[in-house]
Amino acid sequence: MKKVLLSSLVLCFILSLSGLSWGVEKVDVQGSTTILPIMQIIAEEFMAQNEDIEVTVGGGGSGVGISALLDGVTNVAMASRDMKEEEWQKAKEKGLDIREIEIAKDALSVIVNYLNPISEIDVDTLQKIYTGGISNWQELGVALDGEIVIISRDTNSGTFEVFNEHVLRGEELADKALRLPSNQAVLNEVVSNPNAMGYVGLGYAQQGGDKIKALTVNGVEASPEKALSGEYPLSRGLYLYVNGEPQGAVKKLIDFVLGPEGQTIVEEEGFISLSLNED
């Protein structure tokens, strides 16, 4: 009798735990490594206020996130670029109703090691460096004799796509360029190599502190104000993509991102809150 009672109690306990798990809504978010640190913090804050919702966040790059959304394996794609025409076409062929939601602005910062005496550059010179036309710092009139170590992002990256559009402009990236999988990896390489040049989101440039230097581009500083005005030539939007009108837990998460708490986190991570447009 005691064994039966014990077994019944154990079964009830297991069922109660199962009931709790059944009541949890899950939201999967994948994509841009630029947006990744923002969403990781937002997810923690959001789940603390919504214990019935579980949010998982993963990187991989904008292309990876968008592909996952189009293939139906994620609820939300993070992208640091606009969706491409071929991606919109694929969504149409699958009968998907993809919605684009801008959550922040960013200024793509061109960075060098703090020991490098250079402080400014223009887009045409950047193109020559990244396509192999300029290979030594002395060619830029800089008192630094050494080969320019070109640091780039990989092709799945929205950051690369923006750089490709505004800087490479149809030219091929130099074969010698080191293609890295994340903004953090680019930042780490520039911090450790006095001859390196790379490009990262504004928040990562600020994270580098006095170990790196963000160059002015075409005479314009990479700043929130210049990005919002469009004066800075490498400005961009940061996006979430979803399939259909957001519902349930997905809608709650997006509302949180766009609300005061989410936009405060955007600013704290060094990116540009959409609320600045309203000031």
Domains of the chain: 25-106+237-278 (3.40.190.10), 107-229 (3.40.190.10)
pLDDT-derived band at 101, boundaries 50, 70, 90: very high
* Verdict on whether the full-model pTM lies above 0.85: no
- Across 45-74, b (16+ Cβ under 10 Å) vs e yields ebeeebeebebebbbbbbbbbbbbbbeeeb
Q: In what order do the strands lie in the sheet with 235-243?
A: 53-60, 25-31, 76-79, 235-243, 98-107
Which amino acid is it at 70? L
The sign one gets for the Cα dihedral 226, 227, 228, 229 is positive
What is the Cα–Cα distance from 42 to 270, expressed in whole angstroms?
14
What is the Cα–Cα distance from 193 to 221, expressed in whole angstroms?
23
pLDDT-derived band at 13, boundaries 50, 70, 90: very low
Higher pLDDT pick, 227 / 9: 227
pLDDT-derived band at 274, boundaries 50, 70, 90: confident
- pLDDT tens sequence across 26-38: 999 999 999 999 9
Would you say how long the chain is, in residues?
279
Query: Which are the contacts of 23, defined by CB distance < 8 A and separation ≥ 6?
Result: 52
| Mean pLDDT, range 84-111, rounded to an integer | 97
- Across 19-37, b (16+ Cβ under 10 Å) vs e yields eeeeeeeebbbbbbbbbbb
Question: 230 is written with which tokens?
Answer: 């469009």
Q: Is the pLDDT of residue 191 over 50?
A: yes
Q: Is the pLDDT of residue 6 over 60?
A: no
| Mean pLDDT, range 26-55, rounded to an integer | 96
Q: Is the pLDDT of residue 147 over 70?
A: yes
List Cα–Cα distances, 186 to 90, 153, 178, in angstroms. 31, 8, 9
What is the Cα–Cα distance from 69 to 91, expressed in whole angstroms?
9
pLDDT-derived band at 143, boundaries 50, 70, 90: confident
Q: Is the pLDDT of residue 100 over 60?
A: yes
* Residue that the structure tokens 């959304």 belong to: 69
Position 277 scores a pLDDT of 62
| Mean pLDDT, range 64-76, rounded to an integer | 97
Kind of pairing, strands 149-153 and 178-180? parallel
Kindly give the residue spans of alpha helices, DSSP state H, lying in the chain: 2-22, 36-49, 62-70, 85-93, 123-130, 158-163, 183-192, 202-207, 224-229, 248-258, 260-268
Position 278 scores a pLDDT of 57
Contact indicator for 36, 240 with CB cutoff of 8 Å: no
Closest CA to 63 of 33, 37, 93, 94: 33
H or E segment to which residue 55 belongs: strand 53-60
Closest CA to 95 of 65, 62, 72, 63: 72
- pLDDT tens sequence across 209-267: 999 999 999 999 999 999 988 899 999 999 999 999 999 999 999 999 999 999 999 99
